[in-house]
């Protein structure tokens, strides 16, 4: 198998920066961040950081998908978010000066930049627009978490599963086939996203497959009848 050649990005020419929290930085600020950051290549299953470890900077995803997980009291992993290109990770722990409250693990091959604590805090101090951008990111994360908590309390497992499939389909569409969700998750990972036992996720996925609402091929999931899935999820789209 041919080994992939990895080219690490520079902040000055990064195509993701224009739509990221760093879009308002000056040329000098961008150059300083680029000079002080690091970049790493992660294979699926490799961790960026661990829950409980000290936050020493923020991670910015250039390419790939990363799951953020938290361990429950029973030791079971709960996926709290899936992040992808252009998103930053670990900022809440850095700003609160607390250890990471989640672990971050690559879901596929990922290139992730690391901006150290001092550089990130300098940007907050020196750029008047940056704190506003950060507040927007924090508010969006809070709203998403509130919506998930509401769903867990008010919706059935079947409804939550249908909604998760729709969200994944909308966020990660396959460029070659619009029916396919362009992210490969194990049944356990899907269960963790939904907030249920793996056996329950498998059963409801099988039912949706039998009813020809979705099609399962290993880890590939194809949405065959989006309208029915929306009705099952009990959401407005």
pLDDT at 5: 64
Whether residues 135 and 166 share a domain: the answer is no
Is 122 inside a domain boundary?
yes
Cβ atoms 104, 59 nearer than 8 A:
yes
pLDDT digits (tens, 9 = 90+) for 32-52: 999 999 999 999 999 999 999
Same domain, 139 and 161: no
With cut-offs at 50, 70 and 90, classify the pLDDT of residue 72.
confident
pLDDT at 2 over 70: no
pLDDT band at 176 (very low <50, low <70, confident <90, very high): confident
Q: If you average pLDDT over residues 182-191, what whole number do you get?
A: 93
Which range among 8-22, 68-82, 116-130 has the greatest average pLDDT?
116-130
Among 3-17, 66-80, 140-154, the minimum mean pLDDT is found in 3-17
What is the mean predicted confidence (pLDDT) over 187-210?
94
Given a cut of 60, is residue 3 above it in pLDDT? no
Does the pLDDT at position 155 exceed 50? Answer: yes
**Count of domains forming the chain:** 2
Residue 75 lies in a domain: yes
By residue range, what is the domain housing residue 95?
14-143
Q: Quote the mean pLDDT of the chain.
A: 91
Average pLDDT score over residue span 98-114: 95
Are 118 and 70 in a shared domain?
yes
The pLDDT of residue 9: 84
Q: Are residues 177 and 69 in the same domain?
A: no
Taking residues 43-63, what's their average pLDDT? 95
What whole-number distance in Å separates Cα of residue 164 and Cα of residue 10?
Answer: 34
CA–CA distance, 104 with 90 (Å, rounded to integer): 9
pLDDT the model gives residue 1: 44
What pLDDT, on a 0 to 100 scale, did the predictor assign at position 188?
94
Q: How far apart are CA 205 and CA 190, in angstroms?
A: 10
Q: Both 135 and 189 in a single domain?
A: no
Checking if the pLDDT of 236 tops 90, the result is no
Whether 170 and 118 share a structural domain:
no
Domain CATH number, residue 166: 1.10.10.10
pTM of the model: 0.86
CB atoms within 10 A of CB 120: 23
Any idea what DSSP says for residue 45? T
- Could you tell me if 221 and 181 are in contact, meaning their C-beta atoms sit under 8 angstroms apart? yes
Segment 231-237 long-range contacts (CB within 8 Å, at least 24 positions apart) = 232/158, 232/159, 232/162, 232/208, 233/159, 233/162, 233/163, 233/166, 234/155, 234/159, 235/163, 235/166, 237/166
Specify whether 132 is located in the same domain as 223.
Answer: no
Q: What are phi and psi of 163, to 5 degrees?
A: -65, -40
């Amino acid at each position: 198998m041919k080994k992939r050649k990895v080219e690490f990005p520079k902040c000055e020419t990064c195509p993701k920066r224009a739509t990221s929290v760093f879009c308002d930085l000056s040329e000098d600020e961008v150059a300083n961040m680029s000079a002080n950051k690091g970049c790493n290549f992660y294979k699926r299953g490799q961790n960026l950081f661990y829950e409980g470890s000290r936050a020493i900077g923020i991670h910015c995803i250039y390419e790939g998908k990363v799951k953020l997980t938290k361990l429950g009291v029973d030791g079971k992993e709960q996926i709290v978010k899936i992040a992808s290109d252009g998103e930053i990770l670990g900022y809440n722990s850095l700003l609160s000066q607390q250890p990471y409250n989640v672990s971050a693990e690559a879901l596929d091959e990922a290139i992730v930049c690391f901006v150290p604590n001092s550089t990130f805090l300098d940007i907050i101090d020196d750029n008047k627009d940056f704190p506003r951008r950060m507040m927007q990111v924090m508010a969006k994360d809070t709203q998403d978490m509130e919506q998930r908590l509401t769903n867990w309390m008010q919706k059935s497992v079947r409804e939550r599963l249908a909604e998760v499939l729709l969200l994944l389909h909308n966020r990660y569409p396959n460029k070659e086939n619009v029916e396919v969700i362009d992210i490969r998750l194990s049944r356990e990972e899907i269960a963790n996203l939904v907030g249920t036992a793996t056996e329950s996720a498998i059963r409801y996925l099988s039912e949706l497959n039998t009813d020809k609402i979705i099609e399962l091929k290993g880890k590939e999931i194809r949405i065959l009848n989006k309208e029915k899935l929306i009705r099952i999820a009990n959401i407005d789209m």
